[in-house]
Amino acid sequence: MPYQWADHQVFPAGEGGVLLGVDQGSLFLIDRETRELLARGQGSAPPDPAGLCAAEREIMEGLLDARILVSAGSGKRPAPEIDPALIPLTTMVLEVAQDCNLRCRYCYAEGGSYGGPARLLEPALARRAVERLVEESGDRERLTLILFGGEPLLNLAAVEAAAQAAQALSRDGGKRIFLSLTTNGTLLTPEAVALLKRHRIAVSVSMDGPAELHDANRVGVDGEGSYARIVSRLSGLFEAGSAPVAARVTLVPQQWSRVEEVFDHLLGLGFQEVGISPASPIHRALLADAEQEERLFESFAALAARFVREASLGRVLPFGNLIDLLARLHVGQTKSVACGAGLGYLAVDAGGSFYLCHRLTGEEEFRVGTLESGPDPRSIGSALKRLGAGREELCAGCWARTLCGGGCHYENHLRENRLGLPAGSSCGFIRRWLQLGIETYAELRAGGAEPLLQMLEKRAKC
């Protein structure tokens, strides 16, 4: 039977390489002979088995099993159409406060209010939101409620109401609702910490590293840096010890050469995991140049190398970005869209409206229902169509498509519709990051690291 190559990509790893089967998101460590045979067939039909020696035929059989070689004529599978009506809601971001006591210079939420008037979610609406999450969750048992803002600790009454409702509905409704909250850390008073502990709410604190770096952007209404205020609050949170506390870092391009310093500083303060995001380019001054992008990649690569060294000693370097990527690679998770926005995941604003995602809050074209009427699958479907327009064409020939899913909707919308940048302006970095993850994963596999792989499996299920 004649065969053809399925979409695949080979990356360096050891003496051979690591082979990615693009459609399945499958990864294989390969030896030098396999890599050479694959290189010989690049861009052409697979070699005729009659002209191969026994060892090469064996390699070809292995590639057939791995579905890197497929029957001729089995064309690319079109991405399946996803019907939002068929996907239960499992994650809700609840904006308990569309208000904030800080004015971070890179804030995509325009000082926490998302461009509208500052307001707090009524406790009764917070309870209704949790009920709605349960009503829309179908047969799913594990649900996640993310208490968000602005600054959610400005509204302890709504946090309390949502947490109580989640506990009552978990108890009576056969669901498990996992609660988390993202805070800027300035309002972690003993009262707030006691509430978080009482309801076992997992906490992430937004911090950007040492005082000088943090205070460059995370400032109060008066323009004063917030570092000292947050640090004075952290010990209370860490001592409460209810759950591991993660730091969420946002860095502007001028700071990207200092990622490792930021990472180490935050671990030194007592955080148990650190996730690092480049600031969204809400205006052109936040767009990075090629050199800054290179610095960011180098920093991530240095952390990945440290991750491998730590793994060889039986330890996990708590670099959240990499752990999440490795977990997905480990279980072979592929995606046809970048995230669950509108497909199992929705945000609710402080007025009780559903939005496709928290970052798109306040944009009327992405408002997709209300707590009273529920999320509207047709509005979700058309919002997703608008956001995905032209993406299929852009991504069809990209080896990263089943790992990337087309990139973050909000980032694409921001870059292409608001800043007028061409589609795909961030793809180079996305592909480099994914390749780094694949190569790191291959190194870990080659070195054994069994307990780490078990941890990745558990993480992928979260």
Using the minimum distance from each CB to ligand SF4, give the nearer residue, 268 or 422.
422
Which of 95, 136, 151, 293 is the binder for ligand SF4 (CB under 6 A)?
A: 151
What is the spatial distance between Cα 233 and Cα 225, in angstroms, rounded to a whole number? Answer: 15
Question: Could you give the CA distance from residue 429 to residue 11 in angstroms, rounded to a whole number?
Answer: 16
Q: How far is the CB of 346 from ligand SF4 (least distance, A)?
A: 19
Selected from 342, 424, 435, 442, the binder of ligand SF4 by CB under 6 A is 424
Nearer to ligand SF4, 286 or 394 (CB): 394
Cβ nearer to ligand SF4, comparing 109 with 452: 109
From the CB of 103, what's the least distance to ligand SF4, in Å? 5
Tokens of 128: 């209704």
Q: What is the DSSP letter of 102?
A: B
Neighbours of 395 (CB within 10 A): 21
Task: Confirm if 218 and 100 have CB atoms less than 8 A apart.
Answer: no
The smaller minimum CB distance to ligand SF4, of residues 149 and 375, is found at 149
Q: Would you count residue 140 as binding ligand SF4 (CB under 6 A)?
A: no
Using CB under 6 A, which of the segments 73-81, 104-112, 239-247, 352-360 binds ligand SF4? 104-112
> CA 204, CA 336: separation in Å to the nearest integer?
28
Q: Are strands 367-370 and 353-355 parallel, antiparallel or unpaired?
A: antiparallel
Indicate which single residue of 156, 308, 368, 395 sits in contact with ligand SF4 (rule: CB under 6 A). 395
Pairing of strands 345-348, 91-95: parallel
**Is residue 121 part of the contact set for ligand SF4 (CB under 6 A)?**
no
Contact flags string 351-390 toward ligand SF4, x per CB under 6 A: ----------------------------------------
CB of 62 to ligand SF4, least distance (A): 27
Give φ, ψ of 40 to 5 degrees. -65, -30
| Bridge partner residues of 369 (DSSP) | 354, 375
Minimum CB separation from ligand SF4 for residue 186, in Å? 8
Measured between alpha carbons, how far is 122 from 425 in angstroms, rounded to an integer? 41
Say if CB 453 and CB 444 are below 8 A apart: yes
* Minimum distance of ligand SF4 from residue 52's CB (angstroms): 33
Residue 152 contacts ligand SF4 per CB under 6 A: no
Q: How many CB atoms lie within 10 A of CB 163?
A: 23
- Check binding of 107 to ligand SF4 (CB under 6 A): yes
Interactions with ligand SF4, residue window 192-211 (CB under 6 A): 206
Which of 327, 291, 350, 304 has the alpha carbon at shortest distance from 158?
350
Report how far residue 126's alpha carbon sits from residue 165's, in angstroms, rounded to the nearest whole number: 8
> Is 104 among the residues that bind ligand SF4 (CB under 6 A)?
yes
Least Å distance, CB 10 to ligand SF4, is 17
Does 109 help bind ligand SF4 (rule: CB under 6 A)?
yes
Q: How many CB atoms lie within 10 A of CB 99?
A: 21
Q: Provide the binding-site residues for ligand SF4, judged by CB under 6 A.
A: 100, 102-104, 107, 109, 111-112, 149-151, 184, 206, 394-395, 398, 400-401, 404, 406-407, 424, 427, 430-431
